[in-house]
Structure 1
Amino acid sequence: MSKPRWTTRQRPLVPNVRSLALVFAAFAFALLPRNAVAIEVQQVVSPGGIEAWLIQDESNPIIAVQAVFAGGAAADPDGKAGLAGMAAATLDEGAGDLDSQAFQKELADLSIRLGFRAGRDSFAGSLTTLTRNRDRAFDLLRLALTEPRFDTEPVERIRQQLIIRAQRNAVDPDAVAWSTLMATLYPDHPYGRQRNGTAETLAAIETSDLQTFVTERLALDNLYIGVAGDITPEDLGLLLDSTFGALPAEAAPLDLPEVNPSADGGTIVIDKEVPQSVVALGQSGLQRDDPDYYTAYAVNYILGGGGFASRLYEEVREKRGLAYGVYSYLQPLDHSALVVSGVATGNARVAESIEIIRAEWARMAAEGPTAEELENAQTFLTGSFPLRFDSTGALADILAGMQFEDLGIDYLERRNGYIEAITLEDARRVAGSLFKPEELTAVVVGQPENVEATRSAPDGS
């Protein structure tokens, strides 16, 4: 999940932005058709037994595919952090009989978008094509997944690009704050490593490592496919076999233990000569399959996930003008979970900003939301949900995610019901158990005034 970056600005002359956000949500909801979420999701099983979920839409000649494999950067070998990310960046740099230039030229000539990305717990490929180029687009996806070339020139070019990015991240206050927080919370677990690698680990990755990644991680038994657009179930079934059928049947076992974050409520200060400090905060959270997840999602929206409509925004920015923005969000992982928060502000304002965040954390734990706050959150979260289906690619992404998270094929029909079923009693109960101010661990990067460090940054962070 990407985090917004904030800069210090003066408080805007916008009256009652919380009310405006709620009005926007209600207006957007009113414009949507009554059956906006009543989208038919079809289960497609190929003749060879490969499954995909499909939303068929013939209104535009576009097809989008999202293929997600379980296992991501957290499974990188020791000393070679960044392997999954490097594989993602090089899979489309030549495959089969096509070298890097020929492969990329064909994608461009046929207006095909093909790319890969590595998360901590997953590895995903996305494809978008015009219907008329469908067969060749699927074949290029097949080549990238099953016959990547990993030629020396593109591999070294990509390696240097990734090393430069890692070097920039090593001095970027925002990147340093968040990587240090993860290293602090997970000192003895792969979640605490640099997900995108360091200059040293990226330099250590060999072509054989990339080849091993493909053969061990990209397999049928850990594959989840979402497809949306102008394609029939019958045609999709045949393309599933021709595109993915050559993948290995089974991926190599993943050996990642469950882990609780080492959140002790302390504060780490990393001195950096910058005009404003970046603050990253975190504590333990709830995993995606927890029965209280949706209640926690709504409560966090009220605390800091709702932008203009959140308590943190109101207290930090609107009332005091301490920072341009402040936020919090749930971060469920496959083997752990976090609630995190962040703010960036001038060095003289950091101490007060952290104090207010901690105070609001404690107030939410002690009192929970009000009835009005919960009702407003439910209105926004249910009303804005259909706005996520704004493109064919977004639909394919959602379908693959539904399978990856084991949400069920009728999740789109059930999701708003989970939000609407939240009671005030439930919200206050979950707020009391979720938010742990004594755990809320902070990393500050900058030269903050009157902020006392209570612990040191972990070695190598």
Structure 2
Amino acid sequence: MTTLITRIKKNIPILIAGILFACTQLAHASPEIQHWQNAQGSQVFFVAAPELPMVDIRITFDAGSARDGNKPGLALMTNGLLAEGAGKLDANAIAERFEDIGAKFRNNADRDTASLSLRSLSDTQWLKPAVDNFVTVLSEPNFPGIALERERQRALIALRGEKQSPQSLSSNAFYANIYNDHAYAAPTLGYEENMATLARGDIQTFYQKYYTASNATIAIVGDLDRKEAESLANTLTAKLKKGEKPAAIKPVAYTLKNKQIHIEYPSTQTHIMVGMPSHIRGDKDHFALFVGNHVLGGGGFGSRITKAIREDRGLAYSAYSYFAPMRAQGPFVVGLQTSNTQTKEALQVLNETVATFIKEGPDDNELAAAKRDIVNGFPLRIASNSSVLNYVSLIGFYGLPLDYLNEFTEKVDNITKEQVREAFANRIKLDQLLTVTVGQSTDEG
């Protein structure tokens, strides 16, 4: 067995190479994405990155919590149990096999997706056993009952903890109300009452339905040529059944009108979330909304919301806004924390700032500064294999153009004030915003 010290020594050159690779990426900020369908019907997206002797792999399935049906928490539990026992290996044996060859494995699930990721050295003596172990986890999970009960108890503890977290209370109430009976309404972690009843059979059925080759998007970034990448992609899903892609997530039917929800909580600060569903990934207005939001609340200390809330009035340390596009319409969110006694004033300033921006859009200086920040910061977004992998996975799963990264800065540069104003006016309706507050009520606030 390779010792830890030996592995560290072997990885020192990789760390040095990683620094050089980051510098190289800064100068070459537009990786070429190759695409094909493998022998099992999976979509494959590949970026050759020979600068570093590493390979990063991610397999993404349309198997997020939006597929939970009437069993919230099922997608996350299924994904979380994949590495708890597979083939003839228990969780410890799986972890040790990855560790002994210096490979890194992780899995994750959100509302849209469930994924498994692997990072390994590209040399065959390290990559082959890493991929073999990865394929075993992916293709032969046995979902042991003892692991299910252990993870169920962990999930129940986390769910009870959320009841003591103002941030979780506000987020869960926000999603439940803007999405109502839509698949995005329930939290990915689920609810206590559902978690207590999840059965091993539920998990096996979910896995068999959604973890299929036809439902898989493979992203590979690393020190391989096309032929090697094709062989790797075929190996990754060779043991999965072909299956079928699931039906599309239905669009969001949003009908709220200026709804306000307050959750009483014994704290000195009130958490505020304001927003509504906005747009899907790949929407024609995405770049206008993205650039505009940098001015409104996504650009840190230079944004309008931060200036109005923090700098001008000292109502909060942090205030922000963001868009989170998904398969169906993801949310536009504005948020902050403020003293209970200042909640009313903070909300008034927040709403006035958003309303003014929707009406007028950014001025010339704000737009120019936002474009400059985004364009100058773009190379850092793809300055490593792992960050490129994130983009390639996103591009593949959501069906974005293969030249998305190549065109990114040009699309940002071409956005006009009129496009920003029009996009915000079309997507964000002041009379339809949901407001959620979590804190202690006061006469002043």
Q: What TM-score, normalized by structure 1, do the two folds share?
A: 0.87
- Residue type of the alignment partner of 2:122: T
Q: How much does 1:450 deviate?
A: 4.9
> Is the contact between residue 41 and residue 242 of structure 2 (CA under 8 Å) also seen in structure 1?
no
From 113, 135, 152, give the equivalent of 1:122: 113
Q: Which residue of 2 aligns with 1:43?
A: 35
Q: Which residue of 2 aligns with 1:358?
A: 351
Q: Secondary structure at the match of 1:438?
A: helix
Q: Cα gap change, 1:451/1:182 in structure 2, threshold over 3 Å: closer, same or farther?
A: farther
The answer to whether the Cα contact below 8 Å between 1:278 and 1:444 also exists between their aligned partners in 2 is yes
Question: Partner of 2:72 in structure 1?
Answer: 81
Match of 1:324 in 2: 317
Give the structure 1 partner of residue 104 of structure 2. 113
1:399 aligned onto 2:392: yes
Partner Cα separation in structure 1 for residue 418 and residue 342 of structure 2: 36
Alignment deviations for residues 369-395 of structure 1 (CA, whole Å, 9 cap, x no partner): 101111111111121111111321221
1:110 maps to a residue whose letter is: I
Contact 1:218 1:251 in 2 (8 A): no
Does the 8 A contact of 1:364 with 1:435 survive in 2?
no
Aligned to 1:247: 240
Range moving further from structure 2, 38-47 or 198-207: 38-47
Q: Is the 8 A contact 1:260 1:284 kept in 2?
A: no
Structure 1: how far apart are the matches of 2:25 and 2:282?
A: 30
Partners of 1:44 and 1:233 within 8 A in 2: no
State whether structure 2 residue 281 is matched by structure 1 residue 288.
yes
Aligned to 1:457: none
Q: 2:186 aligned to 189, 193, 203, which one?
A: 193
Using the alignment, how far apart are the partners of 2:352 and 2:24 within structure 1?
Answer: 38
User: Where does 1:400-415 land on structure 2 (aligned, <5 Å)?
Assistant: 400-415=393-408
Shift of 1:49: 5.6
User: Matches of residues 231-242 of structure 1 in structure 2 within 5 Å?
Assistant: 231-242=224-235
Aligned residue in 2 for 1:17: none
Question: In structure 1, how many angstroms separate the alpha carbons of the residues matched to 2:423 and 2:203?
Answer: 43
Question: C-alpha deviations, 1:359-418, integer Å up to 9, x for none?
Answer: 011101111110111111111112111111132122112111111121122211111111
Distance 1:251 1:116, change over 3 A: farther
5+ residue gaps, structure 1: 1-30, 453-461
d(CA) in 1 for partners of 2:389, 2:367? 31
Cα offsets for 1:200-235 (capped at 9, x unmatched): 211111111111111100122222111111222212
User: For the residues of structure 2 that align with 1:182 and 1:49, how far apart are their CA atoms?
Assistant: 34
CA distance in 1, matches of 2:230, 2:25: 31
Per-residue CA shift, 1:250-276, capped at 9, x if unaligned? 236336421233432121111111121
Give TM-score, length-normalised by structure 2: 0.90
**Unaligned segments of structure 2, at least 5 residues:** 1-22
The whole-number CA distance in structure 2 between the counterparts of 1:34 and 1:58 is 15
Question: Which amino acid is the alignment partner of residue 265 of structure 2?
Answer: K
TM alignment of 1:174-189, pairs within 5 A: 174-189=167-182
| Corresponding residue to 1:227 among 220, 223, 237 | 220
In the alignment, is residue 57 of structure 1 matched against residue 49 of structure 2? yes
Residue matched to 2:90: 99
CA contact (8 A) 1:184 1:262 kept: no
AA aligned to 2:172 is S
Query: Structure 1 residues 32 and 427 mapped into 2: Cα distance closer, same or farther (>3 Å)?
Result: farther
AA paired with 1:58?
A: P
Alignment match, 2:5: none
Report the AA paired with residue 90 of structure 1.
Answer: L
- Per-residue CA deviations over 1:291-338 (Å, capped at 9, x if unaligned) read 111101111111111111210001101111111101111122222232
CA apart distance, 1:35:
4.5
- The alignment covers a number of residue pairs equal to 421
Structure 1 residues 186 and 100: alpha-carbon distance in aligned structure 2, compared to 1, 3 A threshold: same
Q: Is the 8 A contact 1:116 1:126 kept in 2?
A: yes
Distance 1:83 1:427 in 2: 39
What is the CA distance between 1:194 and its match in structure 2?
Answer: 2.4
Contact 2:103/2:118 (<8 A) preserved: yes
The alpha carbon displacement at 1:44 in A equals 5.1
Identify the residue that residue 166 of structure 1 maps to in structure 2. Answer: 159
Q: Give yes or no for the alignment of 1:273 onto 2:297.
A: no
Q: Does 1:68 align with 2:60?
A: yes
What amino acid does structure 1 have at the position aligned with 2:298?
G
Rate the CA distance shift 1:48–1:252 in 2: closer, same or farther, 3 A.
Answer: closer
1:305 aligns with 2:281: no
Aligned-residue CA RMSD in angstroms?
2.0
- Is the counterpart of residue 447 in structure 1 residue 416 in structure 2? no
CA distance in 2 between counterparts of 1:444 and 1:349 reads 12
Question: Could you say what secondary structure the match of 2:138 adopts?
Answer: helix
Tell me the distance in 2 between the aligned counterparts of 1:412 and 1:186: 31
> In structure 2, do the counterparts of structure 1 residues 95 and 378 end up closer, same or farther at CA, with 3 Å as the change threshold?
same
Contact 2:72–2:194 (8 Å) recurs in 1: yes
Change (3 A) 1:394 1:332: same
Q: Per-residue CA shift, 1:84-122, capped at 9, x if unaligned?
A: 111121101121111122112212222221121111111
- Cα drift, residue 435 of structure 1: 2.9
Amino acid at match of 1:101: N
